[in-house]
Structure formats: structure tokens, C-alpha cells
Amino acid sequence: MNPSTGRQSGIDPRALWIVTFAFILTVTSFGKYEISRLTPLFLYPVAMTAFYGLPLKELGKRILLVLPFILLVGLFNPVFDRRAVLEAGGFSLSGGWVSFISIVLRSLLAVSSAILLVLVSPFDRLCLGLEKMRVPRVLVTQLQFLHRYLLLLKGEAQRMIRAHHLRCPVNRPKIPMEVASSMIGSLLLRAVDRATRIHWAMLVRGFDGEIRLQRPLSFSWARDGSFAAAWGLFFLLSRFVDLPGILSGWVLAR
């Protein structure tokens, strides 16, 4: 985990995986017209962000990367579902818009939980947690290599862009389209070549398909079990009890 993104989680990654899976399962189980019932679930990403001191800018920047795809998923719902589900003061809201908002909220919650999972714990420890949960080692190793080679690809791209900026005139900071296309091809070739050299170096050093960590995992029922049980209970409560309805009824009664 990058230290600039907050403090590292002391929670065992197996507990983090269980809570994240439970959260995503809870979010996706709501109906397409349920919006208010989703609001209590925002407590999870807010609490995790505050507890680990994660910068909102970092989290928001990563969510913005997937936001266009989220909007694209429910873009045509208002077109196909025009049945009015809410009418007040001459204003009519169709079911398509309600389901669109519900899809966006559920997707944002699921994506934010996945991003938080990666931010609060090093990726290698998360992969080791998956292996301890009996996920096939081949899949875990592929995830580890994918993560490392994405960083490798990013580093090669940054070096190529920096070299281009140093060689181009001062009044032309942007990369022309015809130059960008050739740079992309060169980037892939350079990344594959470097990845091959890294793989050979790993084989020379006795790599047998397993990435070992110096700090072994230790699951504590008092800490990790309580963490998973508390959030799991909250997710069950949010799913099967209308907390916003109870709260609004209590406020109106007073």
C-alpha cells in the first residue's frame, strides 16, 4: 500500500475479503426500484475511509475512472421503462429513471468497496489471503503478476512520455495522434521485452510459482472475527430491515 494513501490495515486480508464480498452481495440483492434502502450502506465506505485516513481525492479519482461505464450500464433504462412510479405536483418520475439511479448507486457502492479493499491492504497480502481461503494458486499467481505488470506498463509509459516532452518543442506539449499510435506499439514491445527479462531473472533465482511473504497471516477471532461479524450483522440488518423507513417514521412521530 502506498503510504500516501493512508495507514495500512491491521485486519487480516481474509476478513477484508469476506466483508467486501458480503457487502457487494448485499448491495446487488436490492431491487431495481429500491433507492432509499441503499442509503444505510453508504456507512461502510464512509467509515472505512475515515478510519484508515484515506484521502477522498484518491478515492474519488479512481471512482471517476469507472463512472462512464457505470452510467453506460443504465443509460437506456429511462427509454424502455416509462411507467410512472411517482407523481407529485404535476411532476412525474418514470420507473426507468428510478432504476437508473438505483443502478448507479449500487455500482458506486460496489466499486468503492473494491477500491477500499485494495487501498487498505497491500495487494500481495490480499492475494495471500485468497490462497489461504483455498482459491486456486494458479489464479492467485496470475492476479499477482497482472498487478505487477500493470505497474511495469505504467512505468514504461511514463518514461516514454517524459522522453517525448524533453525532445518536443516547448510550444507543442501534447502528443500528436500519429505519434501516439506508434508510441503505443513501442510501449507494448518494450513492456513485453522487460517482462520477459524479469521472468528469466525469477527463474534463475528459483521461482517455483509461489510468491512468499516475510510476514505470515494470522487470523485473530477477537479482532478479525469481530470486524467481519459486526459488518456482516449491519449488512443483514440493512437488507432485511427498512432502516430509513423506521427513522423517518420516528422523526415524523416526534
111: pLDDT strictly greater than 90: yes
Query: What is the rounded CA–CA span in Å between residue 15 and residue 168?
Result: 50
User: Please, which residues have CB within 8 angstroms of residue 164's CB and are 6 or more apart in sequence?
Assistant: 175, 179, 183
User: Please, which residues have CB within 8 angstroms of residue 179's CB and are 6 or more apart in sequence?
Assistant: 164
Residue 3: what pLDDT? 43
Task: Kindly write down the DSSP assignment for every residue of 61-73, as one continuous string.
Answer: HHHHHHHHHHHHH
Angle between helices 95-120 and 56-73 (to 10 degrees): 140
- Over residues 64-86, mean pLDDT: 82
Confidence bin at 40 (pLDDT 50/70/90): very high
More confident residue, 87 or 71: 71
234: pLDDT strictly greater than 90: yes
Cell of 232: 456482516
**Alpha helix locations (H) across the chain?**
13-28, 43-51, 56-73, 77-80, 95-120, 123-132, 137-167, 177-204, 226-240, 243-253
Helix (H) or strand (E) holding 94: strand 91-94
More confident residue, 153 or 16: 16
Confirm if 130 and 17 have CB atoms less than 8 A apart: yes
5: pLDDT strictly greater than 60: no
12 φ, ψ (degrees, to nearest 5): -60, 135
Confirm if 102 and 33 have CB atoms less than 8 A apart: yes
| Burial profile 71-110: b = 16 or more Cβ within 10 angstroms, e = fewer | eeebeebbeebeeeeeeeeeeeebbbbbbbbbbbbbbbbb
Residue 106: what pLDDT? 94
4: pLDDT strictly greater than 60: no
pTM for the predicted model, two decimal places: 0.81
Confidence bin at 112 (pLDDT 50/70/90): very high
Confirm if 132 and 217 have CB atoms less than 8 A apart: yes
